A and B are shown apart, each in its own frame.
Chain A
Amino acid sequence: MAPIAQSDRPSESAFVIKFIHSSDLHLGKPFGKFPEDVRVRLRQARAEALVKLGNLARDHAASHILLAGDTFDQTTPAPSVIRQAMNAMRAADHVVWVVMPGNHDHANATELWRQVVQDAPANVVVLLTPAPHDLAQGVVLLPAPPGERRPGRDLTGWFDEVATGEALRIGLAHGSVTDFASSEEGGSSIIPLDRARRSGLAYLGLGDWHGQVSFGADTWYSGAPESDGFKHAKTPAALLVEIAALGAPAKVTSLPTGSICWQRVPLDLTEGDDVPTLHQQILPPLAERALTLFEMQVTGRTTALTRVALEQAAAAVAPDFLSHHADFSGLATVHATDDLDAIDRNGALRAAAEALASDAADPRQTPEARDIAQAALSHLFSYALEA
């Protein structure tokens, strides 16, 4: 597709170029692990991310939105996903959308890109090949689209060699950089950290890493505009990049975009803790819970009664959240005589409780047998407290 003439696009004259950098929208991601209502909400949030990006571009007078890969979650998403994405871009016609493939929607996903090209409005540019693209007058975009899921090589290498005259050079790539232990999917690290400097780039926009992070002033991962997991603690955001002149440093501003909060919170307990208070402290404000996927990972040690109380408290607040999960697998239970009194002071109930507690703490038992005994004891606590 031919680049769109930039003269018609809004741009503040003070800047050579001002654009929004984003990536990893993963449109069409199913989130199958979640119940249907949560899935619908998560997919809806991702679709709405396009609208938010368009709004940010308008609000900040950006001429372009550069999507650094993984706009789509699969190589053959449902036609409706593509069509609706293109429709959203069409609606934001005040900005030019530059769409580059990522590893999820790599350039060899022919059917995907065939339909994208077919459905794309005039303000959408699809860059499927590693060739310079005139982004604006005097500004050249060097894309490095992956041709497959795991390219296994540095796709930005050609940036060094390509001549672009006196134009300002902006790089756009998808993959991990060398100082990452791994990419978002655990692949090998490829893109050199000093690619921007080596290739004379004013800015290198990267995709793949879902959290926002920079490597110097000129190399940025924008992160996904909507989170899709508990991995990244930062609020999802896009980047507003402003370059005033050839040779001037890029001014990068993070603009929050996320609407759904993925919160994984550890709760490490020791005996004697004021567990109800600690539990309350880690909970987000009530108003935010409806849009929060909350995962509480309880670790440490506590008494059985406290554990049951915490389980009940967690169960009580669960309906507040879009999704709530409490993981007690890391919590060891201490069985105190007083706790067992809650079940019964003597008799068969007490004897059964003691037998289970003994098994749960018996190192001669298999871990599975101990776990089962512990779970059985927890149930007994619950029943006894009800009784």
Chain B
Amino acid sequence: MSKIKHMIGKSIEKPDARDKVTGQALYPGDINLPGQAYMKVLFAERPHAIIQDIDISKAVKLPGVIAVLTAKDVPVNEYGLIMNDQPVLCGPGSKKPFAERVRFIGDQVALIIAESESLTEQAKKMINVEYQDLPVISDAREAKNDHGKLVHPDRESNVFCHYQIRKGDLEKGLHEADVIIEGEYITPVQEHAFLQPEAGIAYIDEEDRVTIMVAGQWTHEDQEQIAHSLDLPPDKIRVIYPAIGGAFGGREDMSVQIDLALAAWHLMKMGIHKPVKTIWSREESIIGHHKRHPYFVKTRWGATHEGKITAAEVELVTDGGAYAYTSTKVMGNATLMCTGPYEIPNVKVDSYAVYTNNIPNGAFRGFGGPQGAFVAECQVNKLAEAINMDPVEIRMRNLLREGSLLSVDTPMPKGVTIDKVVHKCAEKAGWKNTDKGWQAPAISKKNTDIIKHGIGFACSYKNVGFSFGAPESCTAKVELHGKDTIEHAILYHSGADVGQGAHTIFIQFMAELLNLPLEKIHLIASDTARTGQSGSASASRITFMAGNSIVGAVNNALKKWINNERPAIAEYEFRPPKTTPFDPQTGKCQPNFSYGYVAQVVDLEVDTQTGKIKLDKVICVDDVGKAVNPLLVRGQIEGATVQAQGYALMENFIQKEGRTYTPTLSTYLIPTILDIPEQINSIILEEADPIGPLGARGMGEMPFLPFTPAVVAAVHAATGIWFDEFPLTPERVISKLHEKG
């Protein structure tokens, strides 16, 4: 038996890979059911208005049109992941106050259900909506202080979330500093651009459940939100995930889920038993789902000549867009991470999330972490320059270590390894640890009049799992079959495989723990009728949370097996150590139970004639605790790095007055294979997390965080210019270079 052990740490083949390379894998849009109808959404396509009237009379008369649904057809016309502030359908006729208001261009007004897709298109054009346009609120900084113009008239202010941290004595800390660096930063909106646009199919299953096959990140949360809007008990709703075409946080909130459920349920009530299918176009996808939050930041940090950071003050304002989505949680992370992985004695942070008429912002890989990291790392790099100290050396003098107090005044969970990560990354990039401290390598490449080289350093930490008191747990169920020995095992788990390889990891855990060959493990995944609550595939939590749930369920099942139960069936709900919310005055809290740590060095060249930045090499050191599948880890590091490259250098999402100017993949440019770095050197550290499953930490988001500030530091090294706003498109770079002269 010993020969099959050690499934952990092996790059085994993904169980879904064969179907994906032969075209057999079914994504939501690939599923067809007999007699299916089609659904299309009528989007508002205007940022702020009151709907006076919706006339559907012509549309419903078109032969082949089955139904047209509006606000009055939604039993409970509201939804939202953290607060129910969004109407399912905007318009008059529902009980939800102010639901007749349209608050961003992607607000939905009507659902058209017909025998064919082209009929839905035709009928859509026959719907007449009377709008009364309202002034557009598009600047979060203005909206923050303007209580006259409200996005949600039932609230007193556009600010819907405020946190503050008060640690130590800021003024004293600034007084102790020899240098103070002030900064104003702006981070951009980013679009997920997962390759599979939103799609799904809904039907009534054999147990009369409204069943939705869709690509999401959290089956049970989808189920709950659908149940709320349809006013049905959750067990009357069934959510199933087939293959998912990328997510990155962009499928954390509802898109087509409630619409599809509503349509199938409505048809059933009309006595029509027809599945309903929908596929969004790329443009509908881009206006229809949330984005990464832009941040507007003012900050000042102080340090002594010895490189000790004495104080940090940060004000964060973010644009939440029209609805809250996960803004409050994203802001929690940014509030914590804007002072970096450093122990700073005196900290003052104030953060505000503000409603506007822009596309809502929400979950996106890193979840507030990248914005926070950008501020912290740029500030530290500028402090280092100001006191003439190496950027690695200043970090070494301030990094969080075992027992360090965070800005929120509680110690870090055990297993802090950021110093090891920084050490390794610096060494790999040619830094020397001399008796005068760390020293950067000399740039070996020759600058010309036009081409300038630079390298930049940054490091970050990112929580694993839900934070700040959010309920956190994950359930697994295991069945062991056989007589004398275990012949095969079945795992029931909801954890979503969004492409990262979660299901591969689950199977590896099972094989390792049961000492079974891979082919003896069967996985039943992501179906609320069969699998338990797992929480979302987000927050770098799935390996950690699901891994722990599988360990627990296997242990319980083995106990039953020993007691001769056949099959031995056991469930286990893993709950990590509790976290707590920010104290309203001081911010004091236990924010997280686990972290992952990462450092990066970026080596690049700037063409000072064209403004083009070319990435020569990226070194990424990531402590993943235990690499359950090293090739999957590598895939995450490279994928995150290139996504971060898009964020830092090219992705320019343009909204003006609430309208989107980049609704396609030819106007919103993401990295192609010609844009990527010459080389990405991924270095995996395995410093076990004391409470991780077999030591594993989360890692899917971490490599995204330090990338942009490392690029900015490298560009500064090359040109002498600090960029406090990105993406660093050639136009932005050139105009700054000209300014400098």
Indicate, yes or no, whether A interacts with B.
no
